[in-house]
Amino acid sequence: MAKSYDLIIVGAGMVGALSAVLLAKSSLRIALVDKHNGEYRLSTPPEYDARVSAISSQSKSLLEKANVWQGISRDRIASYDNMVVWDGLGEGFIDFNAQATAMPELGHLVENAVLNQQLMAQVRRSANVDLYLGDTLESHELSESGVRVELTSGQVLEAQVIIAADGALSKLRTENAFETVEWDYGHHAIVATIEIAQSHQNTAWQSFGEEGILAFLPLPSVAQKHYVSIVWSVPPKEAELLMALDEQTFCRRLHYAMNKHFDVVGMTQDRQAIPLRQRHAKHYVKAGLALIGDAAHTIHPLAGQGANLGFGDVKALVEVLEKAHRRGESLGASKVLRRYQRARMLDNIAMAAGMEAFKRLFSTQQPLLVQLRNIGMTQFHRNTSLKRKLVARAAGLSSFS
């Protein structure tokens, strides 16, 4: 016998879990399905999780609304009020400062494992969310009038709509023939937690040069020792060489890649290499199904906007479904789900296009383009109004629409 719900969310990562918590506040009955067991064991600082997310003001507000932010220990959050971007092939740089843009801070860095743990804790406190963990979709049927799902465990579920939050390699997106525009960036991102000899000054540092695209993202200090999360984006062959280096040699390369701005003491955990791919679904919805987060779009991590785009999807989808529920509309109706698509498509495309243009601009080493790039960065740095608008956009306080 099938169990009935208002909606089924597939994927209990940050985006899926946040959707479940927020939608549960509207008394909607929710099934949350994930192959993961939902348990997250945290390392002890300074052995921070290598995967971190930059959380914007809008994303923080959503997490607060879900009572998630309040549960995160302050010693696992690093706020940053400054961002410095410079060209490793010239003298151009841009300095974004929170005070100059009338904001308390530019954002916060939080480990993905910490966010996942707190989100799942809040999901478990939601009386009208049923968890199907360690389980996957065996088959599913979609229609305007409702959806039906059979899990690998044999359990059958029925609902008005399925929310696909099953990540960049979304099975639901593939099986339902959503067309995508995608290409390899030709880069792998090396991520690791690094100890540095001096303070990061609550600043996110980013360099573009011969050594690739490199970000130093601040993490909480421990016992007067200072730590950053690095995201080092390089071509695949270079990534393979860097991953093969011993720790001392890797740290020396890192020191020079950052134009000697920091003395690198060592790594607190093993580094990881992650292939980077741009992907964007041409449509986010079909009758009975909506894609959110990485299932709908992935972008280059150079600006740290991936998680924020996913949380932006959550905000829009929750607003659409809550309104439809109050009106008595079917949550899986095409006309309802298209409202979510209209709310998010333009912003997500604009951000993806901007990141692609930014990556291409700073990947070139042609002397004339490097010179023009440095002139442009200098002019941009002096334009306080434009910097304020860009910071507001990144914080989720304005949009491209």
φ/ψ of residue 97, rounded to 5: -125, 130
Average pLDDT over the chain, rounded to an integer = 87
Between 163-177, 208-222, 285-299, the lowest mean confidence (pLDDT) is in: 208-222
Residue 401's pLDDT is 39
Q: Are 293 and 313 in contact (CB under 8 A)?
A: yes
Q: Are 166 and 19 in contact (CB under 8 A)?
A: no
- Using a 10 angstrom Cβ sphere, with 0-12 exposed, 13-18 middle and 19 or more buried, the burial of residue 115 is buried
pLDDT at 61 > cutoff 70: yes
Domain assignment of residue 146, yes or no:
yes
Select the more confidently predicted residue: 173 or 212: 173
Tell me the one-letter amino acid at 189: A
CATH number at residue 141: 3.50.50.60
Span 287-314, mean pLDDT? Answer: 89
d(CA 126, CA 23): 10
Residue 132's pLDDT is 98
Domain assignment of residue 396, yes or no:
no
pLDDT at 356 > cutoff 90: no
pLDDT at 368 > cutoff 70: no
Name the E strands within 2-160. 3-4, 7-10, 30-34, 52-55, 77-80, 82-87, 93-97, 107-111, 129-133, 137-141, 147-151, 156-159
Residue 85's pLDDT is 76
- If one counts the domains in the chain, the total is 1
Domain assignment of residue 52, yes or no:
yes
pLDDT at 380 > cutoff 60: no
Span 57-67, mean pLDDT? Answer: 95
Judged by DSSP in three states, 249 sits in helix
Question: By residue range, what is the domain housing residue 340?
Answer: 3-77+112-182+278-364
Domain assignment of residue 226, yes or no:
no
pLDDT category of residue 400 using cuts at 50, 70 and 90: very low
Name the E strands within 294-394. 297-298
Domain assignment of residue 314, yes or no:
yes
Judged by DSSP in three states, 223 sits in coil
Span 377-391, mean pLDDT? Answer: 58
Select the more confidently predicted residue: 288 or 214: 288
CB atoms within 10 A of CB 15: 28
Judged by DSSP in three states, 253 sits in helix
Residue 386's pLDDT is 57
Domain assignment of residue 119, yes or no:
yes
Domain assignment of residue 391, yes or no:
no
Judged by DSSP in three states, 91 sits in coil
d(CA 213, CA 193): 17
Domain assignment of residue 124, yes or no:
yes
pLDDT category of residue 185 using cuts at 50, 70 and 90: confident
pLDDT category of residue 245 using cuts at 50, 70 and 90: very high
pLDDT at 399 > cutoff 60: no
